Every structure is written in C-alpha cells, then in structure tokens.
Amino acid sequence: MSKEVAELNKKYNKWVIALSIIIPVAVAALFGIRIPNVERLGFLPPIYATINGLTAVVLVWAVVMIKNGNRVAHERLMKVAILFSVLFLLMYIAYHATSDATKFGDSNHDGILSDIEAANVAGTAMIYYFILISHIILSIAVIPFVLIAYVRTLSEQFDKHKKVAKIAFPIWLYVAVTGVIVYLMISPYYP
C-alpha cells in the first residue's frame, strides 16, 4: 500500500468511526424529541418503506452487475443504494420527530395496548419484535461496514473492498428487506 493510500485510509477511517457512532446516537437522541406545533408527517412511513424495498432491489442488482464484470454500473448502483439509505434515515427521523411511537397491536389507535388488543396479536408479536430488534441492531452494525467498503473503493483497494462487501451485503440486504416487513406488520396500527 502506498503512502498516499495509507493517508487516505487514515483520513477516511476517522470519518467512518465518527459516523458509525454519531448516526445511531443521533437517531436514538432524536427519538425522544418532538417538534412542537408541527403537523404529524404520517405520509412518510410508506415512502421510506418503499425506499427500503428499492434499496434491496438496487443492492441485488449491484451484485449482479459486479459479478458480470460491470464495475461502472456496480459503482453507480451502490451510490444509489447509499443515497436511498440516507433518504430513508432523513425521513425516518422526520417522521419520529413529529409522531408518537405506534404500538404494535393498538387497533383502536388510542396509544394504549389493552389486554384484548395484546391478546389479538399474541401470535405475531414475538415475530414482529424479533424482526424489529434484529433490524435495529443490524442497521447500526452495517454502518461501518458500508462506509469501510466505500472507502476501500475510493482508495482503489478492491481486494479489501470485496472482503468487507461480503460482510456488508447480506446485513444491508437483511436490513432493507426487514424494514419493509416491519412496516407491513405495524402499518395497520398507525393512527
């Protein structure tokens, strides 16, 4: 590795570490913040769920492109996937900054899960929470992998990029797909 590449990696690694910490901490902190006197942005969840679905399609398409030797298409598709993820994050934050959390099973939309409502979803609640929790944990875990893979591309270390991408891809794909599943499962309970 040349001195220039080493310096580039060192520079970008600081950003990778910073963003890998800042993004999840900021999202967690913003979860408790409600913007006063702003209309609830209830139209956003189906949009950001669609973006998650599109991200999954783009990720698979990008892998097909690189396996077919089309590096340019692969790079463009990966930039689209990153853009989709950023758009998702911005919309997700905007929605949660203007809306109270929706309770899974709250069919009368009063913000309280009654015993009857809980009993009605008892068979699916464990599945929903397993998918939701794994989705959240892996959405945090994938951030440094995606950023490191991107940095390895910028520094033209394609062999190292490939090793990181083999870890990042299935996690990112799982997060994108489960984002859609979580939305489909919780959407009947949105107010």
CATH number of the domain that 114 lies in? 1.20.120
Number of domains in the chain: 1
pLDDT band for position 101 (50/70/90)? Answer: confident
Torsion sign, CA atoms 96, 126, 175, 144: positive
Between residues 37 and 130, the one the model is more confident about: 130
Residue 140 · residue 125 · CB < 8 Å: no
What's the CA angle centered on 104, arms 32 and 40, to 5 degrees?
45
Tens digit of each residue's pLDDT (9 = 90 or more) over 129-165: 999 999 999 999 999 999 999 989 988 889 999 999 9
pLDDT band at 16 (very low <50, low <70, confident <90, very high): confident
Average pLDDT, the chain: 91
DSSP state at residue 189: G
Q: Which of 73-82, 97-106, 118-127, 139-148 has the lowest mean pLDDT?
A: 97-106
Angle at 143 between CA 12 and CA 94, to 5 degrees: 110
From the list 39, 44, 1, 25, the residue with the least C-alpha distance to 140 is 25
How would you class 88 by CB atoms within 10 Å of its CB: exposed for 0-12, middle for 13-18, buried for 19 or more?
Answer: buried
Q: Tell me: the pLDDT tens digits for 117-132?
A: 999 999 999 999 999 9
The predicted pLDDT at position 27 comes to: 83
Q: Contact, 138 vs 168, CB < 8 A?
A: no
Report percent pLDDT > 70 for the chain: 99
Least confident of 12-21, 127-136, 178-187: 12-21
Enumerate the H helices of the chain as residue ranges: 3-31, 44-67, 71-98, 115-120, 122-154, 158-186
Higher pLDDT, residue 116 or 10? 116
- Mean pLDDT of the 39-43 span: 87
The whole domain housing 119 covers 3-189
* Burial grade of 18 (CB within 10 A; 0-12, 13-18, 19 or more): exposed
pLDDT at 1: 63
CA dihedral 137, 139, 143, 146 (to 10 degrees): 130
Cα–Cα distance between 180 and 56 in angstroms, integer? 10
What pTM was estimated for this model as a whole? 0.90
47 pLDDT more than 80: yes
Give the pLDDT band (50/70/90) at residue 12. Answer: confident
Report the alpha-carbon angle 95-58-184, nearest 5.
40
